Structure 1
């Protein structure tokens, strides 16, 4: 198992996206801190994944395509487009994926590659946000379109039912 973190807007959305992928064993939703100048706590997820089933490159690609990777984020705010690494070997792979995405899209990606300094989980009532009630208006409006995108463009790693747990 490997661990990697992702931040990109609301962590409810980010959690739902990664829970919909084969090879992602567990997703912790909460707030991630990195070394200065990125030390403000920002919404994000830490996930454990099986690299034999899904690669870091695929995870990063899904992330870049399911949030506003080219949009503006406030560096001191609670939203940050980032890939949070636990191992130095992950840094180069994540940066190459971001660079390739920017080249293909023709837009500069604002996604940062940052070290994980700390993690605080969200309140228990927000954990598994999509899975506990996928019919919430927020889920329908913001998460469902991302899951539809995954099913269309990442079908080889998408779980058949995004709300179901992988056996």
Structure 2
């Protein structure tokens, strides 16, 4: 029997992040919204909560995909709204995630700025914004920002992609 595990990710627009994780095998549910954490990260930031089957997709692979689909090495003025983070739901997960981040640093020239934070609160997005990409793939925002990220994971992580779901969308037809 598959174990379902929850982890949360923030880094860029939650519409983009949601589409990425909804496109993966082994992901059971993606909840889009705003997450607050402890201490200096107590303000709400755009993020998603991902429920996944560990037997189908590992935490390390999820984190790798997350790091490669947002600016995980760049600080910028919108980091309060778009905090680069992996949110854990139990303090026992902090060291595991930090170790994964250390092991993935070799994939990047610049140092990762992604934080490991303890989730404290979640506010879901309004219903009209949930499943945004798969409801609106032709919208200019989707074509400009989300489709390129889905193309990237389709190329770089092809064995983890739910090809049936993505086959309904013209990923290479980006402008």
Shorter-normalised TM range? over 0.9
Runs (4 or more) in structure 1 with deviation over 3 Å come to: 73-76, 161-165
Q: Is the 8 A contact 1:41 1:78 kept in 2?
A: yes
Structure 2 unaligned residues grouped into runs of 5+: 169-175
The residue aligned with 2:66 is 63
TM-score scaled by length of structure 1: 0.92
Task: Find 1:25's aligned residue among 28, 43, 54.
Answer: 28
The residue aligned with 2:88 is 85
Structure 1 stretch 124-133 or stretch 89-98: which is displaced more?
Answer: 89-98
Report matched runs for 1:1-167 at 5 Å.
Answer: 1-74=4-77, 77-163=80-166
Structure 2: distance between partners of 1:35 and 1:13: 24
More helix by share: 2
Change (3 A) 1:58 1:154: same
SS of the counterpart of 2:122?
strand
Structure 1: distance between partners of 2:91 and 2:102: 17
Query: CA offsets, 1:93-134, max 9 Å, x none?
Result: 321222223233121100000000000001111010001111
Structure 1 stretch 54-63 or stretch 97-106: which is displaced more?
Answer: 97-106
The residue aligned with 2:172 is none
Structure 2: distance between partners of 1:156 and 1:125: 31
Cα RMSD (Å): 1.8
Structure 1 unaligned residues grouped into runs of 5+: none
Q: How many residues align?
A: 165
